[in-house]
């Protein structure tokens, strides 16, 4: 073999070796890249599964993100002079004691409108109270107009009224005497929730009527004048108010004149306030 042939043979072998080397390197890189992508995919899946399984962690991250965004918006709103944004509560409407008068039936709507004009209160909250009076009255077998009449005479539909002896709310229930009845509603502060006060007041009124054996005498028990010769006209005023509402519910025209005398919650009709507490103490 000549020198030239040896050189050509060596060059050929070198080229083949280089080609094989490059091919091996390419295949190795391909395998490595595939493995790397597979490992990366597995890592992503593992992180995703961990994140999904950790609901609390996800909730915390979402809360932090939302809080950060909300803080940014509040800061911007304050800078622009919008003082309502930071205190806005979209769910606040759930706390409102109100109903659309259009949701009432004909009788209820007529009574609600009449009471609204007579006592100069908004029709929406009165509509809710009328609804509750009908519901609670049906459950307790007490006339809803009588329940509304007690509210009218006792508080003039002021849910925050309080007498000098501690009667509170729409129906002027003696909260400290009937505190056990408020346990089902979270405590005695519920006396100032209009609907709760009505429910407790209806129960007290029902028990007074049952104890007395009649509505008129039951009203005397309710106001704390059962053992007195005079109830300051309380029972007759309540019954007269209830009769007017019955007439309104029946479709008769009853002018909603302003009442001449609604009992002042700060002034109990009976002179002996402690007697009222004593008489109602065993009504549970």
pLDDT tens digits, residue range 50-108? Answer: 555 566 666 776 777 666 666 666 666 566 667 766 677 888 888 899 999 999 999 99
- Res 276 pLDDT > 50: no
The yes/no answer on whether domain 101-280 falls in CATH 3.40.50.11780 is no
- Is residue 119 within 8 Å of residue 156, measured between CB atoms? yes
pLDDT band (50, 70, 90) for residue 164: very high
How far is 227 from 30, CA to CA, in rounded Å?
103
Identify the H or E element spanning 174: strand 173-174
Is the Cα torsion angle 40, 46, 52, 57 positive or negative in sign? negative
Can you state the angle between helices 106-119 and 234-249, rounded to 10 degrees? 130
Classified as helix, coil or strand, 13 is helix
**pLDDT of 275 above 60:** no
pLDDT, position 278: 34
Residue 169 confidence class, pLDDT cut points 50, 70, 90: very high
pLDDT for the residue numbered 259: 78
What gap in Å lies between CA 269 and CA 174, rounded to an integer? 14
The pLDDT assigned to 30 comes to 55
Q: For the chain, what are the domain ranges? A: 3-79, 101-280
Least confident stretch, 44-48, 128-132, 224-228: 44-48
Q: Is 177 exposed, middle or buried (0-12, 13-18, 19+ CB in 10 A)?
A: buried
Cα gap 81→20, rounded to integer Å: 75
How high is the pLDDT of residue 81?
66
SS3 167: strand
Instruction: Give the whole-angstrom CA distance, residue 202 versus residue 197.
Output: 8
pLDDT band at 31 (very low <50, low <70, confident <90, very high): low
Average pLDDT over residues 163-184: 95
What's the pLDDT at 39?
Answer: 52
Helices (H) and strands (E) in the chain, counts: 9, 2
Q: Which of 229, 234, 275 is nearest to 149 (CA)?
A: 234
* 221, 227, 228, 231: CA torsion to nearest 10: 0
User: Which one is predicted more confidently, 95 or 26?
Assistant: 95
Neighbouring C-beta atoms of residue 11, cutoff 10 Å = 10
């Amino acid at each position: 073999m000549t020198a030239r042939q040896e050189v050509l043979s060596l060059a050929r072998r070198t080229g083949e070796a280089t080609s094989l080397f490059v091919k091996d390197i390419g295949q190795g890189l391909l395998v490595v890249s595939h493995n790397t992508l597979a490992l990366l995919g597995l890592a992503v899946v593992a992180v995703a599964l961990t994140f999904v399984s950790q609901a609390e962690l996800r909730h915390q991250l979402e809360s932090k993100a939302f809080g950060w965004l909300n803080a940014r918006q509040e800061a911007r709103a304050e800078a622009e002079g919008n003082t309502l944004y930071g205190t806005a509560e979209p769910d606040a409407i759930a706390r409102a004691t109100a109903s659309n008068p259009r949701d009432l039936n004909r009788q209820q709507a007529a009574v609600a409108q009449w009471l609204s004009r007579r006592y100069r209160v908004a029709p929406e909250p009165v509509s809710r109270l009328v609804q509750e009076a009908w519901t609670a009255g049906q459950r307790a077998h007490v006339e809803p107009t009588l329940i509304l009449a007690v509210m009218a005479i006792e508080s003039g539909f002021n849910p925050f009224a309080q007498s000098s002896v501690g009667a509170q709310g729409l129906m002027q229930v003696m909260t400290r005497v009937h505190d056990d009845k408020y346990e089902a509603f979270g405590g005695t502060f519920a006396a100032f929730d209009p609907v709760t006060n009505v429910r407790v007041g209806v129960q007290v009124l029902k028990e007074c009527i049952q104890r007395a054996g009649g509505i008129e005498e039951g009203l005397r028990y309710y106001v704390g004048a059962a053992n007195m010769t005079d109830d300051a006209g309380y029972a007759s005023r309540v019954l007269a108010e209830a009769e007017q509402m019955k007439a309104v519910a029946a479709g008769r025209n009853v002018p909603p004149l302003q009442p001449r005398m609604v009992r002042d919650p700060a002034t109990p009709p009976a002179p002996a306030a402690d007697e009222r507490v004593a008489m109602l103490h065993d009504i549970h």
